[in-house]
Amino acid sequence: MKKVILFLLALSVILISIISLKEYVYSDLETKVTKIINKNNNNHFLKTFKNTNVNESSILNTEIPDFVQVANKSINTVVHVRNSSTISNQFSIEDFLFGQTKKNPQIGTGSGVIISSDGYIITNHHVIEDSEKIQITTNDNQTYNAIIVGSDKQNDIALLKINSENKLPYATFGDSDSAQIGEWVLAVGNPFNLTSTVTAGIISAKSRSLDPTGRTTQSYIQTDAAVNPGNSGGALINRKGELIGINTAIQTQTGSYVGYSFAVPSNIAKKVIEDILEYGMVQYGFLGVTGTSLNSSMANELNIEDTEGFYINGIDNESGAKLAGISIGDIIKDIDGIKISKFSDLKGYLNTKRPDDIVVINIKRGNIIKKIDVKLNKNERINFYLIGILRNMGEDDLKKRNLKQGVKISEFNNNYTSYWKEYGINEGDVIKKINGIEINSIKDIDEIIKSRNYYDTISIEILNSENQLERFNFR
């Protein structure tokens, strides 16, 4: 009996120890994934290469693939990203009395993927946003200081650079457009600071948007490979060992993985970093159409039979779509052979294109399918909700107003048309300043909109057709 009691006591101690360890580990592994900008012209690594280090035929013919070779290669191309910054505490009575605000260090962690032997690394914009110092640790425990080469917040992609005396292992880009639903993939990263972690799953959806309104530019690859905080910026790898996505987000109510993860497709990520290196900023090809994704309810509302595709309800008068002959009421069915079922399909593919690129669009007009070649142009317009469509002024407009640069009102927002006309403001009038900042192009307006607090007062100065400057204040 005594031995039994002693055994039970020992067992209890062991169980308590296990529970305590679990609690300790979980509390210790809580990590914050934080969020990214410069220029270089070297883009030799941006081509898609055939991976000769993996036996493709043997893997592709396997019903349940053996990822050993792929995993062993991939973990050496994925790095740990450490983002150091400082944040200020809330203003206190001490700050009032002594004139100082305490600043606390803040550490964010994530992942990145080496994409060239000379040290270029791709990661998420949000992993290194607001960083003061970025450190990269490779899989062989070497640590490097990194510089930010460039970033794109819209697509959540950033490019870093480290200097190494040795050539580094790197991942090669695959074609994310050819990836198939049901295809096996690996997610490689550093969740919870657990370095060189590999998980497997399948592609469960493509062109996924997490915005229920469908108005954003999101177009993710969705997988069921386990991804957690710290995986952001890591690699999504196909069976051939190619990089087909940058792991970016999870959809969860708990903060941890619950079944789905999302990656920026490699074709978008590759195009972003190519633009950063060549132009210093991302170039977007502009189709110039607005519309809605089709489904059964929308088809009933429009009195059409199609439940898939992108229905066009508006066209910019100076866009490539208009010049090519696309009309309101047309339904986009595919672009360059890529099926378009919803807006995220359309936007996701266009995010891989640049101004002057030509795309082949199949549209349905009535019961006829038409193939139309469209030359994408540069976006020269912006929708400013208080006014409407604003556009960079052309040469003729600038000459008439004796201006070198400027932005004009192209089309009023229907909600505000009567207001502006009541005060003598018409289409064609020129936006001179917003919040005291001189406006030379729509880029200036875009930056003001992005940096503005929603509740801030807006001051707008407009040069009317009589060359009189009018000022308007909105709260």
Residue 424 belongs to a domain with what CATH number? 2.30.42.10
Q: Which of 74, 85, 126, 261 is catalytic?
A: 126
Give the pLDDT confidence score for residue 10 in this predicted structure.
52
Give the pLDDT confidence score for residue 22 in this predicted structure.
29
Q: Are 79 and 139 in contact (CB under 8 A)?
A: yes
Say whether 125 is catalytic.
Answer: no
- pLDDT above 90 covers a percentage of the chain that reads 56
In a domain? residue 25: no
Residue 281 confidence class, pLDDT cut points 50, 70, 90: confident
pLDDT of 13 higher than 70: no
More confident residue, 292 or 105: 292
Give the dihedral of Cα atoms 186, 189, 192, 195; nearest 10 deg.
110
Write down which residue in 339, 360, 378 finishes a domain.
Answer: 378
Domain range for 349: 285-378
Shared-domain flag, residues 57 and 190? yes
More confident residue, 291 or 318: 291
pLDDT (average), residues 455-470: 89
- pLDDT above 70 covers a percentage of the chain that reads 81
In a domain? residue 7: no
DSSP 291-340: EEE--HHHHHHHT-S--SSEEEEEE-TTSHHHHHT--TT-EEEEETTEE-
Q: Are 355 and 283 in contact (CB under 8 A)?
A: yes
Shared-domain flag, residues 175 and 239? yes
pLDDT (average), residues 313-332: 92
Residue 405 confidence class, pLDDT cut points 50, 70, 90: confident
In a domain? residue 42: yes
Give the pLDDT confidence score for residue 451 in this predicted structure.
77
Q: Which of 131, 232, 261, 410 is catalytic?
A: 232
Say whether 126 is catalytic.
Answer: yes
Q: What is the pLDDT of residues 83-122, one digit of tens each?
A: 998 765 555 555 555 555 556 778 889 999 999 999 999 9
Shared-domain flag, residues 93 and 174? yes
Shared-domain flag, residues 243 and 323? no
Q: Which of 145, 111, 374, 116 is nearest to 270 (CA)?
A: 116
pLDDT (average), residues 300-304: 94
Amino acid residing at 218: Q
The residues near 98 (Cβ < 8 Å, ≥ 6 apart) are none
pLDDT (average), residues 451-466: 84
The residues near 47 (Cβ < 8 Å, ≥ 6 apart) are 173
Give the pLDDT confidence score for residue 20 in this predicted structure.
31
Q: Which of 116, 131, 156, 219 is catalytic?
A: 156
Shared-domain flag, residues 273 and 183? yes
pLDDT of 14 higher than 80: no
pLDDT (average), residues 403-432: 89
Residue 377 confidence class, pLDDT cut points 50, 70, 90: very high
In a domain? residue 13: no
In a domain? residue 230: yes
pLDDT of 325 higher than 90: yes
Give the pLDDT confidence score for residue 88 in this predicted structure.
59
User: How far apart (Å, rounded) are the C-alpha atoms in residues 276 and 43?
Assistant: 10
Q: Is 165 exposed, middle or buried (0-12, 13-18, 19+ CB in 10 A)?
A: exposed
Shared-domain flag, residues 118 and 200? yes
Shared-domain flag, residues 339 and 365? yes
Write down which residue in 323, 348, 378 finishes a domain.
Answer: 378
Give the pLDDT confidence score for residue 453 in this predicted structure.
74
In a domain? residue 27: no
Q: Are 330 and 312 in contact (CB under 8 A)?
A: yes
pLDDT of 372 higher than 90: yes
* CB neighbour burial string for 321-344, b if at least 16 within 10 angstroms, e if fewer: bbebebeeebbbbbbeeeebbbbb
pLDDT of 145 higher than 50: yes
pTM: 0.73
Give the pLDDT confidence score for residue 210 in this predicted structure.
79
Give the pLDDT confidence score for residue 41 in this predicted structure.
45
In a domain? residue 23: no
pLDDT of 393 higher than 50: yes
Shared-domain flag, residues 276 and 387? no
Question: Kindly report the CA angle at 31 between 26 and 33, in degrees rounded to 5?
Answer: 150
Q: How many domains does the chain have?
A: 3
More confident residue, 250 or 56: 250
Q: What is the pLDDT of residues 447-458, one digit of tens each?
A: 888 777 767 888
CATH number of the domain enclosing 107: 2.40.10.120
* Average pLDDT score, the chain: 83
Q: Are 365 and 330 in contact (CB under 8 A)?
A: yes
Give the pLDDT confidence score for residue 30 in this predicted structure.
30
Q: Which of 232, 230, 225, 229 is nearest to 247 (CA)?
A: 232
Write down which residue in 335, 362, 378 finishes a domain.
Answer: 378
User: What are the φ and ψ backbone dihedral angles of 418, each rounded to 5 degrees?
Assistant: -65, -35
Q: Are 132 and 112 in contact (CB under 8 A)?
A: no
Say whether 44 is catalytic.
Answer: no
Shared-domain flag, residues 290 and 353? yes
Give the pLDDT confidence score for residue 38 in this predicted structure.
39
Give the pLDDT confidence score for residue 36 in this predicted structure.
33
